[in-house]
Structure 1
Amino acid sequence: MFPETIETDRLRLEPRRPENVDLDACYRICSSDPAIDEVTEHVTWDPHETKKETREFLERGRERWEDHEAASYVIRPREGEEGAGDIAGFGGFSVDWERRTAELGTWLRKRFWGRGYSGERAAALVEVAFDDLDLEVVAVSHHPDNDNSRRAIEKYIERLGGRREGRLRNTLTFLDGSVHDEVRYTISQAEWREATS
């Protein structure tokens, strides 16, 4: 149902499964990569404390894929890019089939910030959501204080024909139990087709 591999000009996305991601490397990145606290500051997960946590993260990717709930990918720069083949981060989308909506999500290691990878990945996943899965809406959100995500999302949302819907109150729950607002954006299939035709 979901594409096994997605290649863009600069990125290669493969399913987030234990067989596609080295557990030790993933654990090092998710637990103690330089700036991991900055990466996780505005997301709903904390740096991993054990390798078991990382293994469960990879297994959840496989389970949700097999249950057709989500397409989660490991993101790697392609040959010719700095850090080619390294894990740049993870991203994908969850699907609400009844509402015919995909919800994008991603995180990148700090050394890969500022390269436009978020927008490139988003454009490829939006195409999958609309062309392959015939969904009606793609949504994405960020924590109100996450300026890096806001800037990245605003760039690709505008380019892909979408819009900012607004600030939703108390919709994000972090692992520590704290509840936060989120800023939500959407793109309809019709808007995307008009913007990319």
Structure 2
Amino acid sequence: MLETERLHLRKWREEDAASMFLYAKDPDVGPAAGWPPHKSVEESLNIIRTVFQGKECYAICEKGKDEAIGAIELKLNGHTDVTDREDECELGYWLGKPFWGRGYMPEAARELIRRGFEDLGMQKIWCCYYDGNEKSKRVQEKVGFVYDHTCKDVEVPLLHEVRTDHRNVMTREHWEEITFRKMRRWKQELGKEECVEILKNEPRGVLSVLGENGYPYGIPMDHWYDEKEGKLYFHGAKTGHKIDAIAKNDKVSYCVFDQGYRKEGEWALNIRSVVVFGKMRVVEDAEKIAEICTNISRKFTDDETYTVRELASSGKAVCCLELTPEHMTGKLVNEA
């Protein structure tokens, strides 16, 4: 199940047939999206059984209620004619008319777009609307889709019609731009290679999580950046404020900065810093834990005997964490 501020998105169930029919029988709902109004609960039940069983097809429900008031889906390769790529999909949706005008559809769409890029690894998400469907067009504009092309004389088999189809797209790069704030002083921005260099070379930074009662909680941490996987790894205690916070909300940020340098004749340091945004998880695999602890230890000492001894005596008490970056930004700052 997926959640937003006001909604939860769950899998369709056969007992949703009555509520689906209640909203899908409205002639203002289906035809705009290319399908006829439902004529009976039995027809709605058949749609649930045959159409709404996609891996990423969800019923839209208001929080605190379980009634299905609409549908939203990421149509994966093989279930859409917009793309044949495994790393691309199509977003489709509809909402019962009594719930129009509340901002529910953009809210649900943003969550499914997030899932597509963050959880499913999509590089592009497509979304289409038929000529004249201004409501769908506005939803797509609100969440950040960009016009790509128009297809004319598109067959709409369920209505025995031919229509003009407008196709919009959102790339992963564009989603990151509109999701994560762009740097204000762009001339000071560091490139990705320079950010990676800092993560590789520096041994520690500050990990920030969402703590108790909504307060941010920052803690200094040692880290190892695995360049091959593009992930950050940490070690620490198995219990505590940090672990509790991550269990409740796995979204974190991690800030690292270098030692800085001075230009000749100047007192102020020039410092490069990197902030990584991403999701954190606890590492369970024993071999991976040993690899993480070994590489973190090597950032501080060349004494392999010490590393082996510490792993043998304390390895079972260590909790290792894996941070998968979703966005990374770096900048050069002069302290003057």
CA, structure 1 residues 88+22, in 2 after alignment: closer, same or farther (shift >3 Å)? closer
Alignment of 1:7-46 (within 5 A): 7-18=3-14, 21-31=15-25, 36-46=26-36
**Alignment correspondent of 1:189:** 172
Q: Secondary structure at the match of 1:41?
A: helix
Larger Rg: 2
Pair 1:72-2:57 in alignment: yes
Number of corresponding residues: 174
* Candidates 110, 118, 122, aligned match of 1:123: 110
Partner of 1:68: none
Alpha-carbon offset, residue 61 of structure 1: 4.3
CA distance in 2, matches of 1:77, 1:50: 24
Unaligned runs of 5+ in 1: 66-70
Cα distance change, pair 117–28 in 1 and its aligned pair in 2 (3 A) = closer
CA contact (8 A) 2:30 2:37 kept: yes
Q: TM-score, normalized by length of structure 1?
A: 0.80
Point out the structure with the larger strand share: 2
Q: Deviations over 1:172-193 (max 9, x none)?
A: 5141321211111111111111
SS in 1 for 2:54: helix
2:96 aligns with 109
> For 1:63 and 1:39, how far apart are their aligned partners in 2?
20
- Residue of 40, 49, 52 corresponding to 2:39: 49
The answer to whether residue 154 in structure 2 is matched with residue 171 in structure 1 is yes
CA distance in 1, matches of 2:21, 2:105: 22
Mapping for residues 56-95 of structure 1, pairs under 5 Å? 56-61=46-51, 63-65=53-55, 71-79=56-64, 84-95=65-76
Aligned ranges for residues 144-155 of structure 1 at < 5 Å?
Answer: 144-155=131-142
Equivalent position amino acid for 1:133 in 2: L
Provide the aligned C-alpha RMSD in A.
1.9
Could you list the per-position Cα deviations for residues 142-168 of structure 1 after superposition, in whole angstroms to 9, with x for gaps in the alignment? 1110111111211112xxxx4111322
Q: Give per-residue Cα distances to partners, 1:84-119, cap 9 Å, x unaligned.
A: 443221111101275121101111111111111111
TM-score by length of 2: 0.49
Mapped to 1, the partners of 2:52 and 2:134 lie a distance apart of: 31
Letter of the structure 1 residue corresponding to residue 48 of structure 2: L
Q: Is the 8 A contact 1:44 1:175 kept in 2?
A: yes
Identical pairs, percent: 26
CA distance in 1: counterparts of 2:147 and 2:138, whole angstroms? 12
Residues 71 and 95, structure 2, Cα contact 8 Å, conserved in 1:
yes
